[in-house]
């Protein structure tokens, strides 16, 4: 369970005022000292993330945030970071101090509304009930004002912590997880992966999309074979029948297509992840928009991981060069990595995003929704490469719903 990537874990974030007991609740849920606890306001500065396993819930990332009443210039920066956490949150715990004066819930209401805009399930957690004999009145007021699930607890006295965990469990999305390859392969099918191990490949291990795809193939009870491109033909010769599906790195798609058996379907890791983590229909529209670019167009290339760019980097070198070769001039391009996705997208005409393997589904789809709301075209690396190489139609043949968009 500890090997589960953070992008595949349920993200539980805790929001509230300074000294409402957020960090103490985090430690109680995790059953370990994850966050620093202090009576001094503002102890939690940057969001604190911890990958854990919670009984009855499973693999999670639990996130402690700065108080949303933090003051001063530094406090405002902390609040901005707290807002960004909302984009990747699967379940939000909105913490109330049971002893708050004058029933002043203005800040809590503001944050409840912001979290609701992201469609995040919210649980009101009323803490420190051991210090207020009238906590039931507080609980009733919060239920009436906020209209969300409400749990009253005491971390110090360990009251109702089991009820809180059960409530979290009941609010986890019941949607079936999308399979990476389960819709195109079945039991005993042979799947051949073409995985170039170039300068960008991490020494001694595979990149995450390859690892996740292999695991998904195994879960589908199919047979997986892997090869670098230079051994692709040898891999084909070693089989007594053509593979059902060939999945390749986008960069060698054209070369693989020339050599593949006619009977084998062909797609790329990026196309698979467009469906798994993104929105393939929106990505298709974004790829179509490439033909509308001109010298004044502004492009953002976004990478979800924070690796150091190396020679021949796909995002910073290969895709810009493909665009330059297609149009005959260099574009004005910005680059972002990791969590540094811009709040203001208005200056961009097109965003080309990586596959998003390091992001949770909610965060990736939040980025897509922001682009959609602001009317900014977005696509991903593989779809963009396939479009520029004129092979998009062939790369999505295993996916009738996407292929239908190309007719």
Beta bridge partners of 227: 194
- What pLDDT, on a 0 to 100 scale, did the predictor assign at position 405? 57
By the 10 Å C-beta count (0-12 exposed, 13-18 middle, 19+ buried), 188 is classed as: exposed
C-alpha dihedral sign at 366, 367, 370, 371: negative
Q: Kindly report, residue by residue over 355-375, the tens digit of the pLDDT.
A: 888 888 888 888 999 999 999
The answer, as to whether pTM is greater than 0.85, is no
- Give the span between the Cα atoms of 89 and 171, in whole angstroms: 13
Domain 279-392 annotated CATH 3.20.20.70: no
- Give the span between the Cα atoms of 334 and 345, in whole angstroms: 11
- Give the span between the Cα atoms of 124 and 143, in whole angstroms: 8
Which element (helix H / strand E) includes 62? strand 58-64
The more confident residue out of 136 and 196 is 136
- What pLDDT, on a 0 to 100 scale, did the predictor assign at position 132? 92
Fold of the CATH domain 6-171: Rossmann fold (3.40.50)
- Give the span between the Cα atoms of 259 and 217, in whole angstroms: 23
Q: Kindly report, residue by residue over 22-41, the tens digit of the pLDDT.
A: 888 888 887 766 654 544 44
pLDDT band at 1 (very low <50, low <70, confident <90, very high): very low
Six-digit token pair at 306? 């924070």
Percent of the chain with pLDDT over 70: 86
* Phi, psi dihedrals of residue 207, rounded to the nearest 5°: -75, 160
279-392 and 190-272 share a CATH fold: yes
Of 109-113, 224-228, 360-364, the poorest mean pLDDT is in: 360-364
CA 247 to mean position of chain CA atoms:
22
295 CB contacts (<8 Å, ≥6 apart)? Answer: 329
Six-digit token pair at 73? 């210039």
Neighbours of 158 (CB within 10 A): 11
Place of tokens 């984009």: 87
Domain ranges in the chain are 6-171, 190-272, 279-392
Nearest to 194 by CA among 258, 141, 120, 281: 258
Query: 190-272 has which CATH code?
Result: 3.40.50.11420
Nearest to 59 by CA among 107, 103, 7: 7
Q: Kindly report, residue by residue over 248-262, the tens digit of the pLDDT.
A: 988 888 899 999 999
- What pLDDT, on a 0 to 100 scale, did the predictor assign at position 76? 64
């Amino acid at each position: 369970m500890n090997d589960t990537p953070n992008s595949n874990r349920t993200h539980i974030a805790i929001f509230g005022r300074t000294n409402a007991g957020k960090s103490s609740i985090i430690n109680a849920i995790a059953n370990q000292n994850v966050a620093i606890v202090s009576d001094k306001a503002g102890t939690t500065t940057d969001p604190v993330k911890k990958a854990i396993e919670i009984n009855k819930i499973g693999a999670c990332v639990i996130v402690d945030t700065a108080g949303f009443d933090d003051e001063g210039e530094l406090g405002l920066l902390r609040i901005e970071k707290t807002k960004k956490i909302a984009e990747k949150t699967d379940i939000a715990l909105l913490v109330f101090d049971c002893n708050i004066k004058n029933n002043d819930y203005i800040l809590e209401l503001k944050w409840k509304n912001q979290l609701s805009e992201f469609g995040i399930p919210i649980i009101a957690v009323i803490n420190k009930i051991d210090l207020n004999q009238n906590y039931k009145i507080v609980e009733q007021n919060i239920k009436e004002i906020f209209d969300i699930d409400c749990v009253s607890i005491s971390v110090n006295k360990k009251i109702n912590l089991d009820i809180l965990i059960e409530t979290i469990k009941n609010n986890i999305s019941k949607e079936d997880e999308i399979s990476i390859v389960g819709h195109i392969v079945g039991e005993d099918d042979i799947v051949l992966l073409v995985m170039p191990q170039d300068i960008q490949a991490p020494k001694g291990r595979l990149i995450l999309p390859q690892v996740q795809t292999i695991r998904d193939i195994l879960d589908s009870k199919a047979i997986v074979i892997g090869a670098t491109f230079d051994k692709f033909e040898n891999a084909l010769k070693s089989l007594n029948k053509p593979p059902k599906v060939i999945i390749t790195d986008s960069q060698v798609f054209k070369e693989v297509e020339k050599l593949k058996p006619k009977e084998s379907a062909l797609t790329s890791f990026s196309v698979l992840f467009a469906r798994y983590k993104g929105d393939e229909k929106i990505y298709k529209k974004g790829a179509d928009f490439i033909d509308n670019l001109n010298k004044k167009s502004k492009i953002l290339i976004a990478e979800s991981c924070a690796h150091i760019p190396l020679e021949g980097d796909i995002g910073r070198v290969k895709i810009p060069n493909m665009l330059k070769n297609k149009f005959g001039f260099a574009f004005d391009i910005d680059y972002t990595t990791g969590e540094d996705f811009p709040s203001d997208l208005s200056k961009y005409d097109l965003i080309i995003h990586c596959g998003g393997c390091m992001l949770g589904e909610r965060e990736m789809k939040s980025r897509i929704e922001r682009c959609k709301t602001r009317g900014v075209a977005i696509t991903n690396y593989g779809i963009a490469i396939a479009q520029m190489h004129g092979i998009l139609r062939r790369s999505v043949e295993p996916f009738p719903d996407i292929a239908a968009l190309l007719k």
